[in-house]
Structure 1
Amino acid sequence: MQFFYMKNKEGLGLNRKEVLSYIYVDTQEALNLLIARMRKTERIALDTEGNGLHYYYQKVCLMQLSMGDESYIVDPLAGVELESFLNELVEKPLILHGVDYDLRMMRDSFGFRPRNAIFDTMLAAKLLGYELFGLADLLQRLLDVTLTKKGRKSDWAQRPLTEAQLDYACDDTRYLEPLADRLTRELEGLGRLEWHREMCKRVVLSTENNAVRDPDDAWRIKGTGLLEPRVMNYVRRIWRWREDEAQRADRPPFKIMGNPAILELAIWAASHPSVSLAHGPRLPRHCQGRRLRALERAIRKALETPLSKWPEKRKARPSPNREPDCSRVVEALWDECYRIAETLGIDPAVLAPRAMLASLARKRPRTIEAMMEDCAMMRWQAELLVEGVRRILDNHHG
């Protein structure tokens, strides 16, 4: 167990004049003491640091927890047994900022699925109409706390971590409880606390599963749809080469070759068959030796692929809102959504994104229950929009 002492930090209402410490938990003894402390607390502020910027195979590298004035950093890479810790954590009400990423990482790394309430400070800020809802922006505005930016792009899988990195990590939870309390008061004052509870439940449910993408289409990166099948054939081969190399090196695909570079190389290779890559677009400096030979083989396979095996251009999906009447309904719904959101002081997309409005135009529900069931609306959204939806649908028959 290691103690690190922070520099004095002053903040409104937080008694920052006192020197605060956090505990780095990297032994079983320290973790057992933390578990005992967790059993006595009502709620826990939580954040994680992952390695997605530096590795292909992502995992949780740190877990930060704050309870009152006490903060802890748990090192899951230290070989400690986490089962009892996670069993305790899963039962506690949690406070997070931007819950989606952290819960997906915790689920994928540990099978973690929270059983108690979640309070997402980012969602709260959006419901209150804050235009800047990043953690640093909210802490600066509401608590007069300035966070350091050093450590944001750290390789969190490396050990040992510096004190500056640990300071950065700990600050992500140190102030979440007072921030949540402040936002809760504001939500209560505007009668939006139940909206927030509903939003948090919806986001937590959305983290249960990842969107399933057809593996045969995963190579269709942005910009591919504008290309001819002959060039798309090269994109597919180069993308698969990149994926293989990323897995082999355990590095993120973008560090092997970026998407724009894939498109540039595919376009050049398709128009320069049998020409050496030495005469083509500039390749990443690490693309040499075995990796370069693998890329050359991928391009050669693309050249040898018969026309019958080339990818097909995607057919445009029929979209109901492209029909004149449906399009007019969507625009009318957007105007209504914008009007209501403006009176509430929130972003219209928080009230109802355009995809939801298109669903309303297509399925034409007329009750709150039907809007929730058929268009996946939350109750608070449906209650705000139901009268306008009925009126607009009545004005656009057929």
Structure 2
Amino acid sequence: MDFFLIKSSDELKALIEKIELAPRLALDTEADSLHTYYEKICLIQLSCDGAHYIIDPLAGYNLEEFLKILSEKKLIFHSADYDLRMMRSTFGFEPKGKIFDTLLAAQILGYKHFSLSALVERFFKVTLDKVKRKSNWARRPLSIQQLQYASEDTRFLMPLADILSAELERLGRSEWHWESCERAVAAAASGPEAPDLDEIWRIKGSGLLEQRQLPYLYYLWHWREIEARMVDRPPFKIMGNQQLIQLVHWAANNPGAPLSAGPRLPRNFFGARLDALKEAIAKAAQMPPSDWPQVRRGERPPVWEPDCRPLIKSLMIERHRSARALGIEPSFLAPRSALVNIARNRPQTLEEIIQFSGLLRWQATIIEPGVRRCLRRWEKKQKKDFSHITCQMT
């Protein structure tokens, strides 16, 4: 094995002594979201000074000092957003040092393929094995193959960061990258948004249901959530969305029919779980029509006066022109939602573009000239149209 598995407090203490002297660290995590309801970090992978380590947070040793040292270091991630969110939710971790995200760097440089495996193959001619990607990382003991896979995720991050950093510097895009990384850190620190309680149960396929069927989806979705929490399993492991929608159709169309006459259920549906399912269906059947959830076929686009669609199209053309000149993806430079907000609010200054669009300063600075051209043409056309209407009225 060419990595070190930290199995005890003494080994962790020795690692802390090593990383205290390191100016930067490459970091990655493995979580168990595909296998548990309460997602948590199951492994922390770390590389520094050419050595590679795997820390087991489930081994029972105290990580407080280790995490404190990590928070003070410059950290290199590939897709920092997810790892930082998980570290915050699992450990309350908040980085104080700078973050270098190799995924964001690759996107800013305009690479078409920016996954870690694609970048490692591009620069190091190594093909990473992704067979163990969906492993159950919470199960112990972990196999040598799982540990080897995990160690690969940080092995190339430092030299990769050096290559991308040099290219960012050469193109004058380093500040763009730091600003993007700072947003990732801020987003992780802010935590997830509170779910919309009237939307969270509207799973894929619910938009095709009739209103009389929605009470069944509402109660069956909540039944599935409760069952998943009780056994700490992902909801789809209890019942997949497609099967849930199928059961909704049957229950709504066959009120009062025995469940045994319905769609085939998984083999582990018996006892308390089966009773709870029957109770959920009964509650749905008893919901009065006045309380039925409303049908939602998707949000209607806002009606603007005057119609902004030509302005949005013009902004998209300008965005494509700017992105093409820089060799980056137009949607990465400015997503369509940002352009829609610009069209709605007609910002007059760079600060207003940032405020209304939600773009970073580097993104707003690049599209600002195009935005000004579009708005000038738009305002000129509106004045011309207004003058034409006024003449007709007189």
Unaligned runs of 5+ in 2: 383-394
Which digits, 9 at most, give the CA deviation of each residue in 1:277-312, with x for residues without a partner?
A: 222223333333332222111111111111122112
Which digits, 9 at most, give the CA deviation of each residue in 1:41-98, with x for residues without a partner?
A: 0000000011111000111111000002111111111111111111110011100011
Q: Which of 80, 83, 86 is matched with 1:102 structurally?
A: 83
Q: Please say if residues 366 and 389 of structure 1, whose CA atoms lie closer than 8 Å, have aligned partners that are also in contact.
A: no
Residue of structure 2 in register with 1:329 after alignment: 311
Which digits, 9 at most, give the CA deviation of each residue in 1:88-125, with x for residues without a partner?
A: 10011100011111111100010001111111111111
Secondary structure at 2:186's aligned position in 1? helix
The farther-off stretch of 366-375 and 87-96 is: 366-375
Residue of structure 1 in register with 2:225 after alignment: 243
Q: Please say if residues 321 and 358 of structure 1, whose CA atoms lie closer than 8 Å, have aligned partners that are also in contact.
A: no
Residue of structure 1 in register with 2:390 after alignment: none
Residue of structure 2 in register with 1:285 after alignment: 267
Q: Please say if residues 321 and 330 of structure 1, whose CA atoms lie closer than 8 Å, have aligned partners that are also in contact.
A: no
1:272-311 aligned within 5 A: 272-311=254-293
Secondary structure at 2:307's aligned position in 1? helix
1:1-398 aligned within 5 A: 5=1, 21-208=2-189, 209-314=191-296, 319-320=301-302, 325-397=307-379
Unaligned runs of 5+ in 1: 6-20
Query: 1-side partners of 2:86 and 2:351: how far apart?
Result: 33
Which digits, 9 at most, give the CA deviation of each residue in 1:313-345, with x for residues without a partner?
A: 348656447666212211111111112112222
Query: Which amino acid in 1 is paired with 2:345?
Result: K
- Per the TM alignment, residue 394 of structure 1 is displaced from its structure 2 partner at its CA by 1.6
Residue of structure 1 in register with 2:392 after alignment: none
Question: Identity of aligned pairs, percent?
Answer: 50
Secondary structure at 1:106's aligned position in 2? helix
Secondary structure at 1:77's aligned position in 2? helix
Query: 2-side partners of 1:81 and 1:206: how far apart?
Result: 27
Query: Which amino acid in 2 is paired with 1:53?
Result: L
Secondary structure at 1:325's aligned position in 2? coil
Q: Please say if residues 321 and 327 of structure 1, whose CA atoms lie closer than 8 Å, have aligned partners that are also in contact.
A: no
Query: 2-side partners of 1:329 and 1:263: how far apart?
Result: 40
Secondary structure at 1:396's aligned position in 2? helix
Secondary structure at 2:58's aligned position in 1? coil
Secondary structure at 2:23's aligned position in 1? coil
Query: Which amino acid in 2 is paired with 1:299?
Result: I
Query: 2-side partners of 1:262 and 1:328: how far apart?
Result: 42
Query: 1-side partners of 2:205 and 2:171: how far apart?
Result: 44
Q: Please say if residues 366 and 386 of structure 1, whose CA atoms lie closer than 8 Å, have aligned partners that are also in contact.
A: no
Query: 2-side partners of 1:315 and 1:256: how far apart?
Result: 27
Query: 2-side partners of 1:38 and 1:116: how far apart?
Result: 14
Query: 2-side partners of 1:329 and 1:254: how far apart?
Result: 43
Structure 2 length normalisation: TM-score? 0.92
- Per the TM alignment, residue 224 of structure 1 is displaced from its structure 2 partner at its CA by 1.9
Query: 2-side partners of 1:333 and 1:320: how far apart?
Result: 18
Residue of structure 1 in register with 2:385 after alignment: none
Query: 1-side partners of 2:336 and 2:158: how far apart?
Result: 33
Query: Which amino acid in 2 is paired with 1:145?
Result: V
The farther-off stretch of 291-300 and 155-164 is: 291-300
Which digits, 9 at most, give the CA deviation of each residue in 1:195-224, with x for residues without a partner?
A: 111111111111122021123432121232
Q: Please say if residues 321 and 362 of structure 1, whose CA atoms lie closer than 8 Å, have aligned partners that are also in contact.
A: no
Q: Please say if residues 325 and 396 of structure 1, whose CA atoms lie closer than 8 Å, have aligned partners that are also in contact.
A: no
Q: Please say if residues 68 and 177 of structure 1, whose CA atoms lie closer than 8 Å, have aligned partners that are also in contact.
A: no
Query: 1-side partners of 2:298 and 2:137: how far apart?
Result: 42
Q: Please say if residues 150 and 164 of structure 1, whose CA atoms lie closer than 8 Å, have aligned partners that are also in contact.
A: no
Secondary structure at 2:309's aligned position in 1? helix
Q: Please say if residues 207 and 297 of structure 2, whose CA atoms lie closer than 8 Å, have aligned partners that are also in contact.
A: no
Structure 1 length normalisation: TM-score? 0.91
Query: Which amino acid in 2 is paired with 1:353?
Result: P
The farther-off stretch of 319-328 and 136-145 is: 319-328
- Per the TM alignment, residue 233 of structure 1 is displaced from its structure 2 partner at its CA by 0.8
